[in-house]
Amino acid sequence: LKVIASVEPRIAEATRQELADQRGSLKLIASENYASPAVLLTMGTWFSDKYAEGTVGHRFYAGCQNVDTVESLAAEHARELFGAEYAYVQPHSGIDANLTAYWAILAHRVEGPWLKNVGVKNMNDLTEADWEKLRGELGNQRLLGMSLDAGGHLTHGFRPNISGKMFHQNQYGTDPATGLIDYDALRAKAKEFKPLILVAGYSAYPRRVNFAKMREIADEVGATLMVDMAHFAGLVAGKVFTGEENPVPYADVVTSTSHKSLRGPRGGFILATEEYAPSVDRGCPMVLGGPLSHVMAAKAVAFAEARTTEFQSYAQQVADNAQHLAEGFLKRDTNLVTGGTDNHLVLVDVSSYGLTGRQAESALLDAGVVTNRNSVPADPNGAWYTSGIRLGTPALTTRGFGQAEFDTVAELIVDVLSNTKPGTTKAGGPSKASYVLADGVADRVRAASAEL
């Protein structure tokens, strides 16, 4: 920090403050974690200075021999860790991984066959008229993904997102009675819609997914099955999700982040079958900018960490702790979407406290409990104010929390929620944003958290 401070002291101070905040609060954001010193240090190296567009052994720049070592190792570790035929470790984030995967699937399923049909090998040899036809074909494809309010991600076909604009999109949700994916309803929708791509995976669905069933549905309609395991990659790597809950043997393409439950550096990666590999491999520079070689190096370190038995115990503890957290809420009469969890996250419906997700999130932050507001299925408060808060166990499990600590976490959250009242707007009506947290509660909760 001294070196940074000698150049820009405010950045050094913000960095010091970030460390203090992350240590002094309860980090319950389901997509966050604490990466190891080895992972963090690997990101701060000279690889940051190197350009390396292209792939291993096939670069658009000279002098990439050390990046080749790094990228090959990261890909090899990823293949072994997840049992995948092929791994691509260049995506800079989860969204980049999804975008790269979509274009790879389009290239493999639409562009390649179309070019073959026209009898042209190189796109530059197309006539203007044919080029327009190809663009029309690419723009006329269908994608079916899980809706945002059911727990899917923006990139799974949410209309305002690029994925909802580049495809004709349709969305599946959850059964209103159970909050669970209804595979029969999904099958019926897929049969009617006939997507090119069926996307499975989630950001806020507190349950496991049966990927064998997803495969069956994809096969019945001739869709490519793409699974976005960004949230639960750590549970797959740690062998908590096995058999039909492990997407890798079932999906054509699996995308992921490396920084959530997997506890690596901030970044993305893609696993695929050999069939899709050549198209995915063209991600950079066709979709992605030059790879972040320092981050690829850190991914290799994180994958090496994740193949240890220590990581497997960690991953199991993440899932066990989510159960403990859910039990802590249920015994304190707090509603959970789907009535519980069997992965790493818990979605609390705060409407019975008379609060919006935004009010709950803000009051909890005052008390040093960091969460994010989240829609619940068919949320009456929309995606901005919401009616829920999403909590995840990966970060606090890294800090060593177990059953007793997570029971206390539930107790502290219930303390804040039951002592928060909605505020009023300037006109005197009920507000969805402002709130009043009773005096003394924030200090009480902070003091109790510091004991954990």
- Distance (Å, rounded) from C-alpha 107 to C-alpha 283? 11
274 labelled ligand-binding? yes
153 labelled ligand-binding? yes
Quote the tokens at residue 267: 């970044």
- Taking the least distance from each CB to ligand PLP, the nearer of 155 and 398 is 155
Rounded to a whole number of angstroms, the minimum distance from the CB of residue 365 to ligand PLP is 19
Provide the Cα torsion 94, 98, 104, 108; round to 10°.
Answer: 140
Instruction: Assess 230 for contact with ligand PLP (CB under 6 A).
Output: yes
Quote the tokens at residue 238: 């740690």
Quote the tokens at residue 367: 């008390």
Q: Interface with ligand PLP by CB under 6 A: which range of 223-231, 292-300, 327-335, 422-430?
A: 223-231
Interaction pattern, residues 192-211, with ligand PLP; x per rule: CB under 6 A: ---------x-x--------
Residues that bind ligand PLP (rule: CB under 6 A) add up to a total of: 13
- Taking the least distance from each CB to ligand PLP, the nearer of 103 and 435 is 103
Instruction: Assess 398 for contact with ligand PLP (CB under 6 A).
Output: no
Among 59, 81, 89, 94, binds ligand PLP (CB under 6 A): 94
Give the residue numbers marked as catalytic. 51, 53, 228, 257, 260, 266
148 labelled ligand-binding? yes
Rounded to a whole number of angstroms, the minimum distance from the CB of residue 255 to ligand PLP is 7
- Taking the least distance from each CB to ligand PLP, the nearer of 31 and 381 is 31
Rounded to a whole number of angstroms, the minimum distance from the CB of residue 438 to ligand PLP is 33
Rounded to a whole number of angstroms, the minimum distance from the CB of residue 260 to ligand PLP is 7
Burial of 388 (0-12, 13-18, 19+ CB in 10 A): buried
Among 55, 246, 257, 386, binds ligand PLP (CB under 6 A): 257
Among 42, 55, 93, 174, binds ligand PLP (CB under 6 A): 93
Count of CB atoms within 10 A of residue 69's CB? 13
Rounded to a whole number of angstroms, the minimum distance from the CB of residue 437 to ligand PLP is 28
- Taking the least distance from each CB to ligand PLP, the nearer of 236 and 441 is 236
Instruction: Assess 190 for contact with ligand PLP (CB under 6 A).
Output: no
Rounded to a whole number of angstroms, the minimum distance from the CB of residue 396 to ligand PLP is 18
Instruction: Assess 338 for contact with ligand PLP (CB under 6 A).
Output: no
Instruction: Assess 95 for contact with ligand PLP (CB under 6 A).
Output: yes
- Taking the least distance from each CB to ligand PLP, the nearer of 267 and 328 is 267
152 labelled ligand-binding? yes
Instruction: Assess 231 for contact with ligand PLP (CB under 6 A).
Output: yes
Instruction: Assess 359 for contact with ligand PLP (CB under 6 A).
Output: no
Q: Which of positions 136-155 make contact with ligand PLP (CB under 6 A)?
A: 153, 155
Question: How distant, in Å, are the alpha carbons of 149, 178, 262, 437 from that of 205?
Answer: 9, 12, 18, 29
Among 27, 31, 103, 442, binds ligand PLP (CB under 6 A): 31
CB 235 within 8 Å of CB 319: yes
Q: Interface with ligand PLP by CB under 6 A: which range of 166-174, 226-234, 348-356, 423-431?
A: 226-234
Binding region for (6S)-5,6,7,8-tetrahydrofolate: 148, 152-154, 274
Q: Which residues bind ligand PLP (CB under 6 A)?
A: 31, 93-95, 153, 155, 201, 203, 228, 230-231, 257, 268
